[in-house]
Structure 1
Amino acid sequence: MFRQLFQTAAVICVIAVPTYAADLSAPQEDVILTVSGPLEVTNVENTAQFDMDMLQSLDNTTFETRTIWTEGKHLFEGVFLAKLVEYLGIEGESLRATAINDYAVEIPLEDAVEEGPIIAYKMDGEIMSLRDKGPLWIVYPFDTNSSYSTEMTYARSIWQLDRIEVLD
């Protein structure tokens, strides 16, 4: 009897204690990126949703690179994919990145490395519009790492990104 009462009290304590996403508040503006799947950090119904200010508040970075879709070098600014993966506590095999038009690519989690691809939100200092491959574009540093200059990596450079799903 005492054991059952103790277990019931323990369950009530667990239910009564609110859970908070570690440092991830709810978006205040339009959501531009939703991450779903097994995440350690969430903010809205088991997902991590970001507005532009939230993405820009993460450790951002810049690099210059050429792409096969643009002319000349461009300066890209965004958050390293590795940083987002670390921040949300993502583990697994791969990520399914999906664009606004439902085009999707699979990105192996091993691509999420320091000095690797970024989720870019600016090109040449300007927020990217939908017409200019925005609002988000996964860009690899093609010029600084020749191993990224492959058809496979080009295919993973998805623009108009709005969703990422963690795959086991």
Structure 2
Amino acid sequence: MPDDALVLEVQGAIANTNVDGAAVFDMAMLKALPPVALETTTAVTDGVHRFDGFLMRDLLELVGANGSVVTAAALNDYVIDVDIEEFYRFDVVVAYAMDDEPLLASDKGPLWIVYPRDQHGELQDIRYDYRWVWQLNRLEVR
């Protein structure tokens, strides 16, 4: 159970829950996942940045996700569906820090889905840019 403010809720086709059929997380719980760092450019910032966070697939495995689509939703009401296999095909990071600074809700935080776009030419396509969900606060597995 979270000890602090809720940052992320995962619901839907998941096996492991901690509140009313959902898995809810505070930042400390998310930071307990195996940490990863990714250096890449983005479509909305200048230059290469370092993103610290965890792999989306590690989170999906933790909650026992059993589906083919993940709907990612943000604080700003942005919603997009992503094929779950992308999170296993690419090292997609859920970042909580950029350039050693915590991501804030006022600027793309507290969580931002970040694709390794510099490592895979195909990820430099605008269709993938739409999947970079900042202010991420909810996932639904279907």
**TM-score range with shorter-chain normalisation?**
over 0.9
Contact in 2 for aligned 1:37/1:165 (Cα 8 Å): yes
Contact in 2 for aligned 1:33/1:51 (Cα 8 Å): yes
Distance 2:91 2:123 in 1: 9
Distance 1:112 1:118 in 2: 9
Specify the SS of the correspondent of 2:113: strand
Specify the SS of the correspondent of 2:52: strand
Specify the SS of the correspondent of 1:54: helix
Counterpart of 1:63 (choices 24, 38, 52) is 38
Q: Which has the higher contact order (CA 8 A, sep 6+)?
A: 2
Distance 1:85 1:129 in 2: 23
Q: Which residue of 1 aligns with 2:26?
A: 51
Counterpart of 1:85 (choices 47, 60, 63) is 60
Structure 1 unaligned spans of 5+: 1-25
Contact in 2 for aligned 1:33/1:49 (Cα 8 Å): yes
Q: Report the alpha carbon displacement of residue 76 of structure 1 after superposing the two structures with TM.
A: 0.2
Specify the SS of the correspondent of 2:53: strand
The number of equivalent residue pairs is 142
Distance 1:75 1:115 in 2: 17
| Aligned-partner residue type, residue 53 of structure 2 | G
Larger radius of gyration: 1
Q: Which residue of 1 aligns with 2:103?
A: 128
Higher helix share: 1
Counterpart of 1:105 (choices 80, 85, 104) is 80
Give the CA RMSD over aligned residues. 1.0
| Aligned-partner residue type, residue 93 of structure 2 | I
Structure 1 outlier segments of 4+, above 6 Å: none
Aligned sequence identity (%): 39
2:130 paired with 1:155: yes
Distance 1:75 1:114 in 2: 21
Where do 1:15-34 residues align within 5 Å?
26-34=1-9
Contact in 1 for aligned 2:38/2:93 (Cα 8 Å): no
Structure 2 unaligned spans of 5+: none
**Residue by residue, what CA displacement relative to the aligned partner does 1:127-146 show, whole Å, maximum 9, x if unpaired?**
10112200000000111111
